[in-house]
Amino acid sequence: MCEECKELVDPKEEQLEQILAHHKREKGALIPVLQEAQGLYGYLPEHVIKHISRGLGIPSAKVYGVVTFYAQFRLTPMGRNVISVCLGTACHVRGGAKVLEAIEKDTKIKDGQTTEDGRFTLEIVNCIGACGLAPVMSINGNVHGRLNADQIPGILAEYK
């Protein structure tokens, strides 16, 4: 490949080719390939799904079906700050829904959405593993516990 052409090729595409080559002969390679591709891109854009489909010889409809079946895969980019709100039993009983409402009001997004400015992505989870601090949320892995709705604007302001 000429030097000018190399500059036009996205380095991620080359890495995706390496991922495909590494897993190509493995039985059940689709999920590991999707996981690594999402790690590379941050989500699974349409062109990546098509590339994986061609690379593994699997119909793109089947690849898309796997992507949409498993909650771990994303078809849209994540925000710079990922808010995970726990609605497990302990958090639910102690007011997790009110915390979620306050987050939705402040960010103007719902579960699975990202703010227009790309600042926040909101996701509802079943457990964060901090039941003793319920209700809890984590932002980029930083756990905030014993929450009430009034605290939310101040906490989110720290991430703006």
Question: Known binder of ligand: residue 86?
Answer: yes
Give yes or no for a contact between 114 and 121, defined as CB atoms under 8 angstroms apart: yes
Q: Are residues 32 and 91 in the same domain?
A: no
pTM above 0.85, yes or no: no
Question: Known binder of ligand: residue 5?
Answer: no
Q: Are residues 18 and 44 in the same domain?
A: yes
Question: Known binder of ligand: residue 127?
Answer: yes
DSSP 53-95: HHHHT--HHHHHHHHHHSTT--SSPPPSEEEEEE-SHHHHHTT
Q: What percent of the chain has pLDDT over 90?
A: 89
> How many domains does the chain fold into?
2
Among 69, 89, 117, where does a domain finish?
Answer: 69
DSSP H or E segment with residue 120: strand 120-125
DSSP H or E segment with residue 14: helix 11-23
Residue 10 has pLDDT above 90, yes or no: no
The parent domain of residue 107 ranges over 81-158
Residue 8 has pLDDT above 80, yes or no: no
What is the overall mean pLDDT for the chain? 94
Residue 11 has pLDDT above 90, yes or no: no
Q: Are residues 110 and 57 in the same domain?
A: no
Q: Which residues lie across from 123 on neighbouring strands? A: 84
pLDDT digits (tens, 9 = 90+) for 106-132: 999 999 999 999 999 999 999 999 999
Q: CATH number of the domain that 102 lies in?
A: 3.40.30.10
Distance CA 118, CA 141 (A): 18
Provide the pLDDT for residue 104: 98
Distance CA 87, CA 99 (A): 10
Domain assignment present for 46: yes
Give yes or no for a contact between 130 and 145, defined as CB atoms under 8 angstroms apart: yes
Provide the pLDDT for residue 71: 81
pLDDT digits (tens, 9 = 90+) for 67-96: 999 988 999 899 999 999 999 999 999 999
Q: Are residues 65 and 86 in the same domain?
A: no
